[in-house]
């Protein structure tokens, strides 16, 4: 799908009242396959998408794969130590090349054994010397932008996209103020979730605290009224004080960590502090208009988690995240009802701890990306 195929004004039609901060997007934005296709083209294929961490890409031939919308991307270290990113597609007949992560001397297509160097150049195509005019340099893997931001690796399918640091001024300083060792963290664990809900429901839920006392009884019992969510353009900062007492959540080896610090990065990444050091990274990717895939990665200053850290990992993935999955799936079922079109967004004065103002901010970012129009919160 390209922009020329779907004229926005003709098919979806921007309406001025969509930008009313008091209301969410209409239900069709959470169920319509045509809208999702537009989101792929104008949001995910133009944004910086999380791929992994530099600790996973240390030596020549190390690679990771990631999903961006309907595309699979390879990120690889070449023989000189530089990072490259390519579409995970052979230039011959379009076969998928690599799965997951690992280390290879070269990329060999499993279909006809075309072989690519670690920098993406074609180095062998069987019998190509017998094909008049065949030029291997014309069949390198198709590259995409790749960059490292605070130790994390991002890719962007838009060749004209500006650097991530330019799009989110101030975020690097916030992240490094909490964890100066970002580049030295170790990837230690991943959990994966398939959620029967639109990706925007998952993002909205992450970025409001109104539901916390109801949905997260343990977490809600320790977050006090200081909790704030501050919109800062293409990222949000969450800061909240916590009273000690959550075993495995805010206590590590007997030491209390009284603050919860988390962030959200447009359009679908949620980096979260881990008490005692490190980060949890929740990555949200649509897999259909009513289906979302989450990866929940854990990065620590040391390669092996302590038992206290394992308790934190289990609490985050098996308690808090599972509670969230239940409610966003419930929302998706309700959005299919003919009795419901859009939700009322609860915006409090001075952005109180329960305010849903960030939901409106996110809606406006979506509208701006889709139509070039928005209304600030």
- The most confident of the ranges 80-94, 235-249, 356-370 is 80-94
- The average pLDDT across 270-281 equals 86
| pLDDT higher than 60, residue 339 | yes
Q: Which two tokens stand for residue 255?
A: 């030491």
pTM for this predicted structure: 0.89
Average pLDDT, the chain: 88
Percentage helix, strand, coil for the chain under 3-state DSSP, each rounded to 5: 30, 30, 40
pLDDT reported for residue 347: 87
Counts for the chain of helices (H) and strands (E), in that order: 10, 19
Q: Which two tokens stand for residue 79?
A: 């023989």
Q: 60 pLDDT band (50/70/90 cuts)?
A: very high
- The average pLDDT across 189-207 equals 96
- The average pLDDT across 251-268 equals 73
Q: 352 pLDDT band (50/70/90 cuts)?
A: confident
Q: 13 pLDDT band (50/70/90 cuts)?
A: very low
| pLDDT higher than 80, residue 101 | yes
What's the full length of the chain, in residues?
377
Q: Which domains does the chain have, with CATH numbers?
A: 49-156 (2.102.10.10), 169-371 (3.90.380.10)
Which of 89, 46, 93 lies closest to 68, judged by CA? 46
pLDDT reported for residue 58: 96
Q: Which residues contact 162 (CB under 8 A, 6 or more apart)?
A: none
pLDDT reported for residue 120: 98
| pLDDT higher than 50, residue 59 | yes
pLDDT reported for residue 129: 92
Q: 23 pLDDT band (50/70/90 cuts)?
A: confident
Q: Which two tokens stand for residue 365?
A: 């970012």
Q: 249 pLDDT band (50/70/90 cuts)?
A: very low
Q: 82 pLDDT band (50/70/90 cuts)?
A: very high
Q: 252 pLDDT band (50/70/90 cuts)?
A: very low
% pLDDT > 90, the chain: 68
pLDDT reported for residue 361: 92
282-329: per-residue pLDDT in tens? 999 999 999 999 999 999 998 888 888 888 889 889 999 999 999 999
Q: Which two tokens stand for residue 191?
A: 């959990």
Q: 28: buried, middle or exposed (CB in 10 Å: 19+, 13-18, 0-12)?
A: middle
Q: Which residues contact 245 (CB under 8 A, 6 or more apart)?
A: 222, 251
């Amino acid at each position: 799908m390209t922009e020329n195929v779907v004229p926005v004004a003709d098919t979806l039609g921007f309406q001025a009242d969509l930008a009313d901060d008091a209301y969410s997007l209409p239900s069709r934005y959470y169920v319509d396959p045509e809208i999702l296709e537009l989101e792929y083209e104008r949001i995910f294929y133009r944004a910086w998408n999380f791929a992994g961490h530099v600790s996973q890409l240390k030596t020549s031939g190390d690679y990771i794969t990631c999903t961006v919308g309907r595309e699979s991307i390879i990120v690889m270290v070449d023989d000189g130590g530089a990072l490259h990113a390519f579409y995970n597609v052979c230039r011959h007949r379009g076969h998928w090349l690599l799965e997951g992560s690992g280390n290879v001397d070269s990329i060999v297509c499993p279909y006809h054994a075309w072989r690519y160097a670690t920098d993406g150049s074609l180095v062998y195509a069987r019998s190509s010397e017998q094909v008049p005019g065949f030029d291997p340099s014309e069949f390198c893997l198709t590259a995409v932008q790749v960059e490292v931001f605070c130790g994390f690796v991002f890719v962007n399918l838009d060749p004209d996209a500006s650097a991530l640091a330019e799009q989110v001024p101030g975020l690097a300083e916030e992240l490094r103020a909490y964890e100066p060792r970002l580049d030295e963290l170790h990837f230690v664990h991943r959990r994966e979730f398939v959620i029967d809900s639109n990706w925007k429901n998952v993002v909205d839920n992450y970025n409001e605290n109104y539901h916390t006392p109801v949905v997260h009884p343990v977490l809600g019992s320790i977050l006090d009224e200081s909790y704030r969510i501050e919109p800062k353009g293409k990222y949000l900062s969450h800061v909240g004080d916590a009273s000690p007492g959550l075993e495995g959540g805010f206590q590590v080896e007997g030491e209390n960590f009284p603050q919860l610090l988390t962030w959200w990065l447009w359009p679908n990444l949620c980096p979260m502090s881990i008490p005692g050091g490190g980060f949890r990274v929740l990555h949200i990717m649509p897999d259909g208009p009513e289906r979302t895939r989450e990866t929940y990665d854990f990065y620590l200053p040391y390669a092996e988690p302590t038992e206290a850290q394992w308790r934190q990992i289990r609490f985050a993935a098996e308690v808090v995240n599972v509670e969230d999955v239940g409610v966003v799936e419930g929302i998706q079922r309700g959005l299919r009802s003919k009795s419901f079109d859009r939700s009322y967004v609860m915006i409090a004065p001075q952005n109180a701890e329960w305010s849903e103002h960030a939901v409106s901010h996110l809606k406006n970012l979506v509208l701006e990306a889709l139509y070039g129009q928005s209304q600030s919160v």
